[in-house]
Amino acid sequence: MNIHEYQAKQLFQQYGIAVPKGEIASTGEQAQQVAQSLDSDAWVVKAQVHAGGRGKVGGVKVVTELNDVAGIASEMLGKRLITKQTVAEGLPIELVLVEETSAIDHEFYLSLLVDRATSGLCFVASASGGMDIEEVAESSPEKIINITVNPLSGLQSYQCRQVAFALGLRGQQIKALEKIMRALLALFVEKDASQIEVNPLITTKTGELMALDAKINFDDNALAMHSDIAAMQDKNQEDEKENLAQQFELNYITLNGTIGCMVNGAGLAMATMDLVQLSGGQPANFLDVGGGATKERVAEAFKLILSDTQVKAVLVNIFGGIVQCNIIAEGIIAAAAEIGVTIPVIVRLEGTNAPEGRALLNESTLNITAAENLQSAAEMAVALAEAA
């Protein structure tokens, strides 16, 4: 789960990480009041959406006239912000964060994430922080350093100094960075985060370190243990189809391709997506209907896939271990008939009662094809999607 910048900054404050003073507002008038209450001669108005890249598209504005704050805030509010990190239609701006401006001396990049290669938490840092960090990562990766935290011995002071030196920090700043790194680590572990990003972390003209931006992702599977974090969820920022999937306990993730995939088992779903790619197509989604898929779940999954207008063909790949293939076939036929599916559906069934399942599909008058094997199913789906 993602949270907003202002919420992440509240957590930073709880953990002793300095952030600029500010408040959120939902109207231009409110934004103006917040600005007025801040003892500053300039203000930053920041669109609150679950995505980065706001600075490049007008989602972060520095305002030097108090009387301009209301206008600039109301211009953002109610619109959708499209950044490199959002879906094509962008995300709704329902809140802005109004902050005092900070006198920036330098912008750094600092993040903490799970590194699967070392099975540990890893700090990623760069002296070239700010809005072009992706470009830095691409063209000069040597400017980015990684420090892995050993889960047994914990974060060592020398590791913090390594980061501090790489960032070119001096004197008191070195201790200050260690404090921030320890706070990030504590926050990460205690709240079951999966990623924290501070970009930019800045030094001010007076030499202080401060988090100017904050992004935190949390592990969905741990949310039940953190009611404070779960309460921060903003469904309006999330994918509608993914929220719907959650209701039916389907593991669904929207992707960009044209081939809708319905698979039982996460591993099989990943392998299916690989095969689609190998056959020259692009999956429209990841969808695991689960091991114990029922007729109803299959029907809901089907509706979900087809609600994506990008989908030109559906590839169903079910291995009948616990579930029986004939039951799945009935579910597919019922769902396809109910919603009036017009696009081709290719089904690969294997396992318990597979011949019965395939026979049911072949008997149906709907646009459903039972494939011989997974390879040909994937190839057929790609060819039919391309032809559409």
Distance separating alpha carbons of residues 147 and 159, to the nearest angstrom: 7
**Alpha carbon 324 to chain centroid distance?**
34
Sign of the CA dihedral 130, 138, 8, 35?
positive
Nearer to Mn ion, 130 or 357 (CB): 130
Show Cβ contacts of residue 145 under 8 Å, excluding neighbours closer than 6 positions. 124, 125, 126, 162, 163, 166
Nearer to Mn ion, 100 or 356 (CB): 100
Nearer to ligand GDP, 213 or 300 (CB): 213
Q: Which stretch binds ligand GDP (CB under 6 A): 28-36, 52-60, 156-164, 302-310?
A: 52-60
299 binds, among Mn ion, ligand GDP, none (CB under 5 to 8 A by kind): none
Hey, which residues does 349 pair with through a beta bridge?
A: 318
Among 149, 181, 212, 318, binds ligand GDP (CB under 6 A): 212
Among 4, 9, 50, 54, binds ligand GDP (CB under 6 A): 54
Site map for ligand GDP, 94-133, x if CB under 6 A? Answer: -------xx-x--x----------------------xx--
Would you name the residues annotated as active-site residues?
Answer: 109, 197
Angle between helices 5-14 and 172-190 (to 10 degrees): 110
Degrees to nearest 5, angle at CA 187 with 54 and 24: 40
Q: Which of residues 204-223 bind Mn ion (CB under 5 A)?
A: 213
Shortest CB 145 distance to ligand GDP, Å: 20
130 binds, among Mn ion, ligand GDP, none (CB under 5 to 8 A by kind): ligand GDP
- Residue 124 main-chain phi, psi, to 5 deg: -120, 130
Nearer to Mn ion, 83 or 199 (CB): 199
53 binds, among ligand GDP, Mn ion, none (CB under 5 to 8 A by kind): ligand GDP
Q: What is the DSSP code (8-state) at residue 55?
A: G
Residue 58 in the binding site for ligand GDP (CB under 6 A): no
Sign of the CA dihedral 230, 236, 242, 247?
positive
Shortest CB 133 distance to Mn ion, Å: 8
Place of tokens 């999966």: 194
Residue 200 in the binding site for ligand GDP (CB under 6 A): yes
Nearer to ligand GDP, 53 or 290 (CB): 53
Q: Which of residues 144-203 bind Mn ion (CB under 5 A)?
A: 199
Shortest CB 169 distance to ligand GDP, Å: 18
Show Cβ contacts of residue 117 under 8 Å, excluding neighbours closer than 6 positions. none
Which token pair is 366? 């709907």
Nearer to ligand GDP, 101 or 364 (CB): 101
CB-based burial label for 320 (10 Å; 0-12, 13-18, 19+): buried
H/E element holding 47?
strand 43-47
Residue 86 in the binding site for ligand GDP (CB under 6 A): no
Show Cβ contacts of residue 104 under 8 Å, excluding neighbours closer than 6 positions. 200, 202, 203, 204, 205, 212
Residues lying near Mn ion in the complex (CB under 5 A) are found at 199, 213
Residues lying near ligand GDP in the complex (CB under 6 A) are found at 20, 44, 52-55, 60, 62, 101-102, 104, 107, 130-131, 199-200, 212-213
